[in-house]
Structure 1
Amino acid sequence: MTAERSPARGPLLDPDALAQLRALDPQGRHGLLPRVAGLFEASLASLLPQLDAAEAAGDLAVVRHVTHTLKSSSASLGALALSRCCAEAERLAREERREGLPELLDRLRAELGHVRPAIAALGQPGA
Protein backbone atom coordinates (compact mmCIF):
# COMPACT_ATOMS: atom_id res chain seq x y z
CA MET A 1 0.00 0.00 0.00
CA THR A 2 2.86 2.41 0.67
CA ALA A 3 3.84 2.15 -2.97
CA GLU A 4 0.29 3.01 -4.01
CA ARG A 5 0.25 5.79 -6.54
CA SER A 6 -2.14 8.38 -7.69
CA PRO A 7 -1.92 8.75 -11.49
CA ALA A 8 -1.08 12.45 -11.44
CA ARG A 9 0.74 12.52 -8.11
CA GLY A 10 3.20 9.68 -7.85
CA PRO A 11 3.62 7.76 -4.58
CA LEU A 12 1.34 8.75 -1.71
CA LEU A 13 4.22 8.37 0.76
CA ASP A 14 7.78 9.34 -0.09
CA PRO A 15 9.92 6.19 -0.28
CA ASP A 16 13.02 8.03 0.98
CA ALA A 17 11.27 9.24 4.13
CA LEU A 18 10.01 5.71 4.80
CA ALA A 19 13.48 4.31 4.19
CA GLN A 20 14.88 6.71 6.80
CA LEU A 21 12.34 5.48 9.34
CA ARG A 22 13.02 1.85 8.48
CA ALA A 23 16.77 2.46 8.88
CA LEU A 24 16.16 3.38 12.52
CA ASP A 25 14.72 -0.11 13.13
CA PRO A 26 16.18 -2.21 10.29
CA GLN A 27 15.01 -5.58 11.58
CA GLY A 28 11.63 -4.23 12.65
CA ARG A 29 12.12 -5.68 16.11
CA HIS A 30 10.95 -2.53 17.83
CA GLY A 31 7.96 -1.96 15.56
CA LEU A 32 9.01 1.64 14.98
CA LEU A 33 7.16 2.19 11.72
CA PRO A 34 3.85 0.74 12.96
CA ARG A 35 4.19 2.70 16.21
CA VAL A 36 4.85 5.99 14.40
CA ALA A 37 1.91 5.34 12.07
CA GLY A 38 -0.30 4.52 15.05
CA LEU A 39 0.74 7.65 16.91
CA PHE A 40 -0.02 9.73 13.83
CA GLU A 41 -3.50 8.23 13.58
CA ALA A 42 -4.10 8.69 17.31
CA SER A 43 -3.03 12.33 17.13
CA LEU A 44 -5.59 12.94 14.38
CA ALA A 45 -8.34 11.98 16.82
CA SER A 46 -7.63 15.14 18.80
CA LEU A 47 -6.09 17.41 16.16
CA LEU A 48 -8.86 17.25 13.57
CA PRO A 49 -11.64 18.28 15.98
CA GLN A 50 -9.36 21.06 17.25
CA LEU A 51 -8.81 22.23 13.69
CA ASP A 52 -12.53 22.16 12.91
CA ALA A 53 -13.40 24.12 16.08
CA ALA A 54 -10.59 26.62 15.52
CA GLU A 55 -11.61 27.22 11.93
CA ALA A 56 -15.25 27.74 12.96
CA ALA A 57 -14.20 30.16 15.72
CA GLY A 58 -11.60 31.94 13.60
CA ASP A 59 -8.90 31.02 16.14
CA LEU A 60 -5.74 31.37 14.07
CA ALA A 61 -3.45 30.46 16.99
CA VAL A 62 -5.00 26.99 17.22
CA VAL A 63 -5.03 26.62 13.43
CA ARG A 64 -1.32 27.45 13.48
CA HIS A 65 -0.61 24.95 16.28
CA VAL A 66 -2.51 22.10 14.64
CA THR A 67 -1.06 22.66 11.18
CA HIS A 68 2.44 22.94 12.63
CA THR A 69 2.02 19.63 14.43
CA LEU A 70 0.59 17.90 11.36
CA LYS A 71 3.30 19.37 9.14
CA SER A 72 6.06 17.69 11.10
CA SER A 73 4.41 14.34 11.68
CA SER A 74 3.20 13.97 8.10
CA ALA A 75 6.66 14.80 6.75
CA SER A 76 8.25 12.15 8.96
CA LEU A 77 5.93 9.54 7.44
CA GLY A 78 6.59 10.69 3.90
CA ALA A 79 3.26 12.44 3.31
CA LEU A 80 5.09 15.35 1.73
CA ALA A 81 2.15 16.90 -0.15
CA LEU A 82 0.20 16.97 3.12
CA SER A 83 3.18 18.45 4.92
CA ARG A 84 3.49 21.22 2.31
CA CYS A 85 -0.20 22.00 2.59
CA CYS A 86 0.12 22.18 6.39
CA ALA A 87 3.13 24.48 6.06
CA GLU A 88 1.19 26.88 3.85
CA ALA A 89 -1.80 26.89 6.24
CA GLU A 90 0.55 27.43 9.17
CA ARG A 91 2.16 30.38 7.37
CA LEU A 92 -1.20 32.01 6.63
CA ALA A 93 -2.32 31.55 10.25
CA ARG A 94 0.97 32.91 11.59
CA GLU A 95 0.64 35.96 9.33
CA GLU A 96 -3.02 36.29 10.45
CA ARG A 97 -4.17 36.05 6.84
CA ARG A 98 -7.64 34.61 6.59
CA GLU A 99 -8.06 34.99 2.84
CA GLY A 100 -7.69 31.59 1.19
CA LEU A 101 -7.33 29.76 4.50
CA PRO A 102 -10.68 27.91 4.37
CA GLU A 103 -9.89 26.56 0.90
CA LEU A 104 -6.41 25.58 2.01
CA LEU A 105 -7.81 23.75 5.04
CA ASP A 106 -10.26 21.95 2.75
CA ARG A 107 -7.30 20.92 0.58
CA LEU A 108 -5.44 19.77 3.70
CA ARG A 109 -8.38 17.58 4.70
CA ALA A 110 -8.64 16.16 1.17
CA GLU A 111 -4.92 15.38 1.12
CA LEU A 112 -5.25 13.74 4.49
CA GLY A 113 -8.02 11.58 3.06
CA HIS A 114 -5.65 10.44 0.30
CA VAL A 115 -2.71 9.51 2.52
CA ARG A 116 -4.48 8.23 5.61
CA PRO A 117 -5.09 4.70 4.25
CA ALA A 118 -1.43 4.42 3.19
CA ILE A 119 -0.28 5.56 6.64
CA ALA A 120 -2.69 3.14 8.32
CA ALA A 121 -1.20 0.33 6.22
CA LEU A 122 2.20 1.10 7.76
CA GLY A 123 0.76 -0.05 11.07
CA GLN A 124 0.04 -3.51 9.68
CA PRO A 125 2.44 -6.43 10.17
CA GLY A 126 5.06 -6.60 7.48
CA ALA A 127 4.77 -2.92 6.56
Structure 2
Amino acid sequence: MYAKDVPAGTVFYHGTKADMGVRDLIGAGFESNFDERGLKHVYFSATLDAATWGAELARGEGRGRIFIVEPTGPFEDDPNLTDKRFPGNKTASYRSVHALRITGEVKDWVGHSPEQVQHMKESLARMSQEGSSTIIED
Protein backbone atom coordinates (compact mmCIF):
# COMPACT_ATOMS: atom_id res chain seq x y z
CA MET A 1 0.00 0.00 0.00
CA TYR A 2 1.48 3.35 -1.02
CA ALA A 3 0.74 6.64 0.75
CA LYS A 4 -1.53 7.66 -2.13
CA ASP A 5 -3.52 4.43 -1.63
CA VAL A 6 -4.00 4.55 2.16
CA PRO A 7 -7.72 4.22 2.91
CA ALA A 8 -9.36 6.68 5.28
CA GLY A 9 -9.49 5.28 8.80
CA THR A 10 -6.18 3.39 8.56
CA VAL A 11 -4.56 3.00 11.98
CA PHE A 12 -0.99 4.30 12.19
CA TYR A 13 1.63 3.45 14.81
CA HIS A 14 4.88 4.98 16.07
CA GLY A 15 7.33 2.95 18.18
CA THR A 16 9.56 4.86 20.60
CA LYS A 17 10.90 5.07 24.14
CA ALA A 18 9.65 8.63 24.59
CA ASP A 19 7.48 9.29 27.63
CA MET A 20 4.46 10.90 26.00
CA GLY A 21 0.70 10.65 26.17
CA VAL A 22 -2.57 11.10 24.34
CA ARG A 23 -2.89 14.45 22.52
CA ASP A 24 0.90 15.03 22.58
CA LEU A 25 2.59 15.73 19.26
CA ILE A 26 5.53 13.74 17.95
CA GLY A 27 7.53 16.03 15.73
CA ALA A 28 10.52 15.86 13.45
CA GLY A 29 13.97 17.01 14.50
CA PHE A 30 14.96 14.12 16.74
CA GLU A 31 17.57 11.42 16.21
CA SER A 32 16.34 8.23 14.64
CA ASN A 33 17.08 4.73 15.86
CA PHE A 34 19.62 4.45 13.06
CA ASP A 35 21.25 7.88 12.76
CA GLU A 36 22.52 10.33 15.37
CA ARG A 37 21.50 13.48 13.50
CA GLY A 38 18.20 15.28 13.84
CA LEU A 39 15.82 14.28 11.07
CA LYS A 40 13.45 16.54 9.18
CA HIS A 41 10.78 13.82 9.01
CA VAL A 42 8.87 11.83 11.60
CA TYR A 43 8.37 8.17 10.69
CA PHE A 44 5.37 5.90 11.28
CA SER A 45 3.74 2.74 9.99
CA ALA A 46 0.37 1.11 9.42
CA THR A 47 1.77 -2.20 10.69
CA LEU A 48 2.20 -3.12 14.32
CA ASP A 49 5.30 -5.17 13.46
CA ALA A 50 7.18 -2.14 12.07
CA ALA A 51 6.20 -0.10 15.14
CA THR A 52 7.35 -2.94 17.38
CA TRP A 53 10.80 -2.74 15.80
CA GLY A 54 10.75 1.01 16.39
CA ALA A 55 9.95 0.54 20.07
CA GLU A 56 12.57 -2.18 20.51
CA LEU A 57 15.37 -0.36 18.69
CA ALA A 58 14.65 3.14 20.00
CA ARG A 59 17.56 4.97 21.55
CA GLY A 60 17.39 6.01 25.16
CA GLU A 61 16.37 4.56 28.46
CA GLY A 62 13.02 3.21 29.54
CA ARG A 63 10.59 0.79 28.05
CA GLY A 64 9.58 0.72 24.45
CA ARG A 65 6.15 2.12 23.70
CA ILE A 66 3.88 1.97 20.70
CA PHE A 67 1.57 4.91 20.16
CA ILE A 68 -1.44 5.08 17.89
CA VAL A 69 -0.97 8.28 15.90
CA GLU A 70 -2.64 10.38 13.27
CA PRO A 71 -0.72 12.55 10.83
CA THR A 72 -1.47 16.28 11.13
CA GLY A 73 -0.49 16.94 7.52
CA PRO A 74 0.46 15.26 4.26
CA PHE A 75 2.73 12.21 4.34
CA GLU A 76 4.63 10.08 1.87
CA ASP A 77 6.11 6.60 1.55
CA ASP A 78 9.33 6.11 3.51
CA PRO A 79 11.96 5.86 0.75
CA ASN A 80 14.42 4.22 3.13
CA LEU A 81 12.30 1.08 3.19
CA THR A 82 10.11 1.35 0.11
CA ASP A 83 12.91 1.92 -2.37
CA LYS A 84 15.86 0.27 -0.64
CA ARG A 85 14.62 -2.84 1.12
CA PHE A 86 10.94 -3.58 0.57
CA PRO A 87 9.75 -2.49 -2.88
CA GLY A 88 6.00 -1.94 -2.87
CA ASN A 89 6.02 -0.64 0.74
CA LYS A 90 5.22 -4.02 2.32
CA THR A 91 5.99 -2.53 5.73
CA ALA A 92 3.41 0.25 5.17
CA SER A 93 6.02 2.76 6.38
CA TYR A 94 5.56 6.48 5.92
CA ARG A 95 7.09 9.80 6.85
CA SER A 96 5.99 13.40 7.21
CA VAL A 97 7.49 16.80 7.96
CA HIS A 98 4.31 17.44 9.96
CA ALA A 99 3.80 16.22 13.51
CA LEU A 100 1.91 13.09 14.49
CA ARG A 101 -0.81 13.44 17.13
CA ILE A 102 -0.95 10.63 19.70
CA THR A 103 -4.50 9.28 19.97
CA GLY A 104 -3.81 6.15 22.01
CA GLU A 105 -1.27 3.58 23.07
CA VAL A 106 -0.97 -0.13 22.34
CA LYS A 107 -0.39 -1.59 25.80
CA ASP A 108 -0.38 -5.32 25.05
CA TRP A 109 2.11 -5.54 22.17
CA VAL A 110 4.43 -8.51 21.97
CA GLY A 111 8.06 -7.93 21.11
CA HIS A 112 10.42 -9.98 19.00
CA SER A 113 12.60 -12.61 20.65
CA PRO A 114 15.83 -11.39 22.30
CA GLU A 115 17.74 -13.26 19.58
CA GLN A 116 15.87 -11.43 16.80
CA VAL A 117 16.47 -8.05 18.45
CA GLN A 118 20.16 -8.80 18.92
CA HIS A 119 20.48 -9.93 15.30
CA MET A 120 18.79 -6.72 14.11
CA LYS A 121 21.09 -4.57 16.28
CA GLU A 122 24.13 -6.39 14.90
CA SER A 123 22.87 -5.91 11.34
CA LEU A 124 22.33 -2.20 11.94
CA ALA A 125 25.81 -1.84 13.46
CA ARG A 126 27.32 -3.64 10.45
CA MET A 127 25.42 -1.36 8.05
CA SER A 128 26.69 1.67 9.95
CA GLN A 129 30.30 0.45 9.73
CA GLU A 130 29.89 -0.20 6.01
CA GLY A 131 28.35 3.24 5.48
CA SER A 132 25.10 1.80 4.12
CA SER A 133 22.85 2.95 6.96
CA THR A 134 22.40 6.52 5.73
CA ILE A 135 18.80 7.71 6.01
CA ILE A 136 17.42 9.39 2.91
CA GLU A 137 16.09 12.77 4.07
CA ASP A 138 15.52 14.57 0.76
TM-score by shorter chain over 0.5: no
Which of these two proteins has the greater Rg computed from alpha carbons? 1
Q: TM-score, normalised by structure 2?
A: 0.25
Higher helix share: 1
Q: TM-score, normalised by structure 1?
A: 0.26
Higher strand share: 2
